[in-house]
A and B are shown apart, each in its own frame.
Chain A
């Protein structure tokens, strides 16, 4: 009876451990089989040359050096970065303006807030299909507006110069409600007496924004910047329906390069190596953003 030698306290801990793992069993199986195992397997794949035909072939990790000299890889990183540089500042500022306006004493607040949320309910596929029409150079509403204002009609998705701003603007529209909600939660936690005190000291509306709201909102703004950056590195669905990587490769972001290499060219080993590069880049950018932004905000 070995168990009798174990003190009662430990026995209780062991019993609790046993019952806890019964509760954890389903989720641990799912995590293990569909998350951890694929990750390890993907890492193993990334050290092989692997096409659809034939056996995987260990190539000494040659995929990684190849990555560093592949101009398609650098190009996709550049495109993703350009897109991120357009999307992140826009959503950070636009969502803050809308949240600030919504936080004020205005009527129909609830209704307005509900309307901002409608776009996030819809899938990127629906958004992409709708904006395919909005941006369409022949019959789209944007072309119509430009025509009406006396400009030439242009299809924004058809030209290399306009396609990324068009995608960024669409995504801002799509996810606005999500970021507005995060900001509103932050704004509502600022005590009203701070504004009153500033008022009495003679601050005008702009001063309130500049010297009360923005400083107190810094942690939230930081959160939004980090979340938006991570999200912008993941853009994929809309590109599938709207541009398919085009025009002339102008929207081959990193996720699209992975899709292309793995599922159109069947180079699984190389694609897996790019996914790990993507992972490392997203992680690095997040850490850098956290550090830089936090440092600048310390007095």
Chain B
């Protein structure tokens, strides 16, 4: 939809400046169109970040100024009270710790297990290969709710409620990760593997020292998705944690907000949101390129 559509072909540029009336009219029209385009993209871009700006700003407001009308964009008297209260008056530090532990383990083991599976689907021939691959891809269309209800009961049975395994294990492998790694690894030439085998490398060594290092871009993309998925995960952590000390950040924050039905402490909530959002933003800034490639590569994550 590039409305200005690269008009600068030489034929069309001849006579710029004079031109007939309709040509001049067209130029005005194009300039107007380009102005509208700028307006659209800039307004949408500002709208994209405004709520986060407000969240950040409000986290430094006292209660009175957080509910002031008209809304105050900049806190008149910035205070760190909300952050202090968050870490001393609530279990926020524990939620943060739980989120770090859960996301850390999922981030290390998830891409590893998915790459191991992706590797053999890309490079090996074995019994039931196609059946298995289709079955793994098929898990992508199953809504989370279908497994949540039984998982709740299974975890109750196994005494796993309020434990790390319940928050971690279900996310160590996924159809999306296996698919992404398989797609990328099938582009790596077989010669490299054969050469390594002739040199006497074992199977795991080939995977670890050749395939993994060569798959860094795909691993980075998968890492970003895995991080965001785990850090922002809500439904399962919500139902398998009943003790406040075992909650993760999103659950802790949501439940905290739910308890303030009559007098919302915006400053406190927004301080909680700011701390939770910061790592995601850092990961994004550092790995933006891979994130975009990942979406374009698969068009599947959603």
B239 beta carbon closer than 8 Å to chain A: yes
Kindly specify which of A62-70, A160-168, A175-183 makes contact with the partner chain: A175-183
Q: What mask results when residues 188 to 228 of chain A are scored 1 for a CB within 8 Å of chain B, else 0?
A: 00001001101110001110110001000000000100010
Given A39-B146, A181-B292, A205-B33, answer yes or no on A131-B51 (Cβ-Cβ < 8 Å).
yes
Kindly specify which of B74-82, B86-94, B109-117 makes contact with the partner chain: B109-117
B116 touches A134 (CB 8 A): no
Q: Which B residues are in CB contact (< 8 Å) with A258?
A: 145, 148-149
B2 touches A30 (CB 8 A): no
- CA A187 – CA B68 in complex, angstroms? 45
Shortest beta-carbon distance, B171 to chain A, in Å?
8
A114 touches B1 (CB 8 A): no
Complex interface residues of chain B between 269 and 297 (CB less than 8 A to chain A): 269-270, 273, 276-277, 280-281, 283-284, 288, 291-292, 295-296
Complex interface residues of chain B between 127 and 174 (CB less than 8 A to chain A): 127, 129, 132, 136, 139, 141-154, 169-170, 172-173
B146 touches A98 (CB 8 A): no
A263 beta carbon closer than 8 Å to chain B: yes
From B117, B139, B145, contact of A24 by CB (8 A): B117
Kindly specify which of A71-79, A82-90, A100-108, A291-299 makes contact with the partner chain: A100-108
From A13, A223, A234, A286, contact of B125 by CB (8 A): A13
A130 touches B273 (CB 8 A): yes
B250 touches A118 (CB 8 A): no
- CA A255 – CA B235 in complex, angstroms? 11
A34 beta carbon closer than 8 Å to chain B: yes
> 23 A-B pairs, CB-CB below 8 angstroms?
A17-B127, A23-B124, A23-B207, A27-B116, A27-B178, A30-B170, A31-B136, A33-B169, A34-B170, A35-B170, A39-B150, A41-B153, A42-B146, A101-B41, A118-B281, A122-B52, A130-B52, A140-B71, A141-B54, A187-B2, A234-B145, A275-B149, A283-B141
Pick the 6 closest A-B CB pairs, nearest first: A100-B1, A123-B232, A27-B173, A42-B150, A30-B173, A20-B126
